Amino acid sequence: MKQKQQKRRKSSNVLLDTALQEFYGAADEMGLSERLISILSHSERRVHVSIPVEMDDGSVEVFDGYRVQHSTALGPSKGGIRYDTEVDMDECEALAMLMTWKCSLAGIPYGGGKGGICCDPLNMSKREKEKLTRTYAARIEPILGRWSDVPAPDMNTSGQEMVWILDTVSKMRGHLEPSILTGKPVAFWGSRGRNEATGRGVATCGLELMKAIGRNPDTATAAVQGFGNVGSYTAKTLNDAGVKIVAISDITGSYYSSNGIDIRKAFEAVHKHPKKLLEGFDKIGNCEKIENDLYADAEFLFPCARDGVINRKTAGKIKARYIIEGANGPTTPDAEEILQASGVMIVPDFLANSGGVIGSYFEWAQNLQGAFWSEEEYNSRLIHIMKGNFRRVWDYAEAKKVVMRRAATMTAIQRVADVVEMRGMFL
Ligand code: GLU
């Protein structure tokens, strides 16, 4: 039975609109049925909570918190919780959809989710952040569960926030629930290797790309935007493999050296800084400050900071020939068109940064068994899966003559669509 085309969703939020239009484009190219297009273009659940926090000065501020479960077709919805001033329901929905494709493509048994709180974490004390996190945890507790929704860290959150959430939920339920969250510290049910996993995976994709195009890492140059969890370990892993990192950056600015940045020194500088920033690194790191490391003279660019940075305004100034997306959604569709026209190749976010969630899957699986793997086992499994996934998308893109993002989206949608058909419509 042929179904007439349903009304297609549009959004004024750039990230959500991009996610929707990429989904529709890929779905049409695959010939996906209208039934499945309608189902998969909507999220199963969108939760909005208010979070009152008594601030250190005695005033009360009420923050908005969100958790979106885009799909639980393949398994529990999986995805991070971020703290940022830009967080809203649409952003979480876009990122949750991206997680559905990421988990599907990665071949792990999860659906996609994302959550966050609209706040300015860099200007909050630890006490304020603890109260914020615990009240958020209590308010989304009904939807969390090892078989329903399993969050992890994301932008501006880390193992500490995961422990606060885990502790709050465990106290409410009267028993410890280690497998409802991943990205926990190694000392408390975490996995050795998880902290570095996203960056290690991004770098692995970069190195596989170099292999595929016949480029020697020892003579390659790269710029890495962002020196948080993803960017720092991306830079370190690339550097350990012989790649010269000519530029790094964070919110304090971009730092450049044509001789290559000393990444170990950058780690030391960040470690010593009270807010874990690169501030002042030009003085101690033998490098200069530049306008924006996106435009640095490097062949490979790794945007590992935030969404939307490669846009209509910035795309034309990028010198790199290859972009490997460490952040979620760093390239807008109009920028992608500009870059494609000039022959720039992009390895899409949900392939390149899937090391984090693959590592999360390892942690969850270990928690369910009460077992612990060695760091070597964790890393070798991670790298093996990342290499295989890169190759699969590369080959599919070559065979179908489509760009890697389209190839990855189509592969990912197919698995979810097949399972929705098998399970039936009510999931
Ligand atoms: N926040 C990471 C991501 O966007 C990890 C998610 C997870 O491990 O659940 O992929």
Catalytic residue among 78, 102, 114, 129: 114
| pLDDT tens sequence across 282-328 | 999 999 999 999 999 999 999 999 999 999 999 999 999 999 999 99
Element (H, E) at 323: strand 322-324
Report the separation in Å between the CA atom of 262 and the middle of ligand 1, taken as the mean of its atom positions: 28
* Contact present, 293 and 249 (Cβ < 8 Å): yes
- Cα-flanking dihedrals φ and ψ of residue 5, to 5°? -65, 125
* Whole-number pLDDT of residue 7: 85
pLDDT over 70, % of the chain = 99
- If you average pLDDT over residues 176-187, what whole number do you get? 96
Let me know: does 326 contact 71? Beta carbons within 8 Å.
no
Q: How confident is the model at residue 3 (pLDDT cuts 50, 70, 90)?
A: low
Confidence of residue 427 (pLDDT cuts 50, 70, 90): low
Cα of 242 from ligand 1 centre, angstroms? 27
Say whether 317 is catalytic: no
SS3 assignment for 371-393: CCCCHHHHHHHHHHHHHHHHHHH
Instruction: Using DSSP bridges, classify how beta strands 253-256 and 288-290 pair: parallel, antiparallel or unpaired.
Output: antiparallel
Q: DSSP string covering 207-223, please? A: HHHHHHTT--GGG-EEE
Residue 184: closest CA among 148, 221, 218, 157:
157
The CA distance from 69 to 148, in Å, is 9
Give residue 395's identity as a one-letter amino acid code: D
Nearest-atom number in ligand 1 for the CA of 79 is 9
- φ and ψ of 292, to 5 deg: -160, 125
pLDDT tens digits, 264-292? 999 999 999 999 999 999 999 999 999 99
Q: Is 168 in the pocket of ligand 1 (CB under 6 A)?
A: no
pLDDT value for 1: 55
Give distance in angstroms: CA of 79 to centre of ligand 1: 5
pLDDT tens, position by position, 212-243? 999 999 999 999 999 999 999 999 999 999 99
| 3-class state of residue 359 by DSSP | helix
E-assigned strand segments in 72-123: 77-84, 111-118
